[in-house]
């Protein structure tokens, strides 16, 4: 058995910030999850549908691994990323770092992880690995998935090698701090502005506040889009509210990030953004509940209500980001 010493195996709410927290704490930098999410400019929105998809997907964050790249650039971290099509090389990349006493981040498909509660393919999942033995890998996942968990080496290999939407080629990564602790406090305003600019100037109508407005138009038709409404709408609501794909989780993280920033920056525009995202987090929970009710009773009236709330959210988040862009 090989285990990295001194790991703080603390599961947080979101997979990528959980993993970054493990890697950075091992380097001596302990930031809250909202601060990691905000400094990584992680908030976004996408409405994604395609012929090959069983059901539409609403995402409330930037695409997988973009948060990690943003955070590394913002804090001046050295980010080493390794990808390969070889299963043997993929294992060597990971084992070498753990043998050297360093935890490593992995992007993979959660479907193949033994402990994962929801068996749905999602290739953008991220975990931290800190040990292994002849049969199992020792991982840190989110708190809802158990925090410090284990999965079989065979399951881990399958998860890393899976192909499909949002997957990577056996991606593993590590971060190293610059000499001296990064002055992260100086980066909160640039990070807020960058996130707001990306949200407001999204290049296509599926993204940002325009994406939320598009969702408002299309969600009322989801009963017709669903093959099995009870299953599909319930799953969409579950992912939104507990997985955070398009729901309250990421809005709540950003709300709390802005609250922390308000202790560092005295600006009414920041306080406006915080107030509006506090409201948005509550409204996204309402949307998920309405979608779940529509699936339970096959009642399109609940989806019409969800569409109306989404229209309010498109306006509210546009106003919030407009204020934050001008910090």
Q: pLDDT digits over 139-182, tens only?
A: 999 999 999 999 999 999 999 999 988 899 999 999 999 988 89
Contact 125, 168 (CB under 8 A): no
63 located within any domain: no
d(CA 94, CA 79): 15
Q: Are residues 135 and 8 in the same domain?
A: yes
We report the CATH number of the domain holding residue 100 as 3.90.70
Whole-number pLDDT of residue 8 = 95
Out of 153, 176, 199, a domain closes at 176
d(CA 55, CA 40): 29
Q: Are residues 204 and 167 in the same domain?
A: no
Residue 16 has pLDDT above 90, yes or no: yes
Whole-number pLDDT of residue 245 = 79
Whole-number pLDDT of residue 53 = 79
Q: Are residues 105 and 248 in the same domain?
A: no
Alpha helices in the chain, H assignment, sequence order: 15-27, 33-39, 66-75, 87-99, 153-161, 188-200, 208-218, 222-225, 229-238, 248-262, 268-297, 300-325
Residue 89 has pLDDT above 80, yes or no: yes
Q: Are residues 88 and 157 in the same domain?
A: yes
Whole-number pLDDT of residue 94 = 98
Please tell me the number of Cα atoms within 13 Å of 323 on its side-chain side.
17
61 located within any domain: no
Q: Which two tokens stand for residue 12?
A: 């947080």
Out of 157, 176, 195, a domain closes at 176
Mean pLDDT of the 49-70 span? 90
Q: Which residue has the higher pLDDT, 179 or 78?
A: 78
Q: Which two tokens stand for residue 233?
A: 């709408």
Q: Which two tokens stand for residue 306?
A: 């969800």
Q: Are residues 193 and 167 in the same domain?
A: no
Contact 298, 230 (CB under 8 A): yes
66 located within any domain: no
Q: Lowest-pLDDT range, 70-74, 218-222, 245-249?
A: 245-249
Whole-number pLDDT of residue 18 = 97
Q: Are residues 7 and 148 in the same domain?
A: yes
Is residue 244 very low, low, confident or very high in pLDDT (cuts 50, 70, 90)?
Answer: confident
Q: Are residues 194 and 318 in the same domain?
A: yes
Give Cα separations from 188 to 40, 192, 283 (angstroms): 10, 6, 26
CA angle 190, 191, 195 (to 5 degrees): 115
Domain count, the chain: 2
64 located within any domain: no
Structural domain of residue 256, as residue ranges?
A: 184-325
Burial annotation 271-308 (CB, 10 A radius, 16+ → b, else e): bbbbebbbbbbebbbbbbbbbbbbbeeeeeebbebbbe
103 located within any domain: yes
Whole-number pLDDT of residue 162 = 96
Out of 176, 192, 215, a domain closes at 176
Q: Are residues 111 and 154 in the same domain?
A: yes
Is residue 279 very low, low, confident or very high in pLDDT (cuts 50, 70, 90)?
Answer: very high
Whole-number pLDDT of residue 242 = 78
Mean pLDDT of the 301-320 span? 98
Is residue 61 very low, low, confident or very high in pLDDT (cuts 50, 70, 90)?
Answer: very high
Whole-number pLDDT of residue 295 = 93
Mean pLDDT of the 286-290 span? 96
Mean pLDDT of the 319-323 span? 98
Q: Are residues 252 and 320 in the same domain?
A: yes
Rg (CA), the chain: 20
**Percent of the chain whose predicted confidence (pLDDT) is above 90:** 87
Q: Are residues 288 and 306 in the same domain?
A: yes
Whole-number pLDDT of residue 270 = 98
Whole-number pLDDT of residue 118 = 75
62 located within any domain: no
Q: Which of 167, 90, 160, 157 is nearest to 122 (CA)?
A: 167
Q: What is the pTM of this model?
A: 0.95
Q: Are residues 292 and 228 in the same domain?
A: yes
Please give the mean pLDDT across all residues of the chain: 95
d(CA 111, CA 124): 11
Give Cα separations from 166 to 64, 91, 194, 231, 274 (angstroms): 7, 21, 23, 23, 30
Q: Which residue has the higher pLDDT, 118 or 88?
A: 88
Q: Are residues 283 and 191 in the same domain?
A: yes
Mean pLDDT of the 288-302 span? 95
102 located within any domain: yes
Residue 51 has pLDDT above 90, yes or no: no
68 located within any domain: no
- The DSSP call for residue 179 is S
Please tell me the number of Cα atoms within 13 Å of 139 on its side-chain side.
31
> What is the phi/psi pair of residue 140, to 5°?
-115, 120
Please tell me the number of Cα atoms within 13 Å of 14 on its side-chain side.
35
Whole-number pLDDT of residue 175 = 97
Mean pLDDT of the 7-18 span? 95
């Amino acid at each position: 058995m090989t285990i990295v010493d001194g790991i703080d195996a603390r599961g947080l709410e979101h997979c990528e910030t959980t993993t970054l927290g493990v890697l950075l704490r091992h380097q001596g930098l302990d930031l809250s999850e909202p601060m990691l999410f905000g400094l990584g400019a992680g908030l976004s929105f996408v409405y994604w549908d395609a012929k090959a998809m069983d059901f539409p997907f609403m995402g409330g964050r930037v695409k997988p691994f973009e948060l990690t790249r943003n955070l590394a650039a913002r804090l001046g971290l050295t980010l080493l990323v390794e990808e390969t099509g070889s299963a043997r090389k993929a294992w060597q990349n990971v084992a070498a770092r753990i043998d050297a006493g360093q935890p490593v981040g992995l992007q993979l498909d959660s479907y193949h992880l033994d402990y994962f509660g929801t068996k749905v393919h999602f290739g953008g999942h991220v975990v931290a690995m800190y040990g292994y033995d002849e049969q199992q890998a020792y991982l840190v996942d989110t708190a809802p998935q158990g925090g410090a968990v284990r999965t079989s080496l065979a399951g881990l290999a399958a998860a890393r090698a899976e192909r499909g939407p949002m997957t990577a080629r056996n991606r593993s990564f590590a971060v190293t701090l610059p000499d001296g602790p990064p002055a992260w406090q100086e980066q909160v305003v640039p990070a807020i502005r960058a996130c707001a600019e990306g949200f407001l100037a999204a290049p296509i109508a599926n993204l940002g506040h325009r994406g939320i407005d598009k969702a408002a138009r299309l969600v009322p038709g989801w009963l017709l889009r669903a093959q099995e409404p009870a299953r599909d709408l319930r799953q969409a609501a579950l992912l939104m509210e507990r997985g955070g794909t398009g729901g309250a989780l990421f809005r709540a993280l950003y709300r709390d990030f802005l609250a922390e920033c308000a202790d560092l920056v005295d600006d009414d525009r920041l306080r406006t953004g915080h107030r509006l995202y506090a409201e948005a987090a509550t409204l996204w929970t309402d949307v998920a509940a309405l979608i779940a009710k529509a699936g339970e009773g096959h009642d399109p009236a609940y989806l019409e209500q969800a569409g109306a709330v989404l229209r309010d959210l498109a306006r509210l988040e546009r106003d919030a980001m407009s204020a934050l862009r001008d910090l």
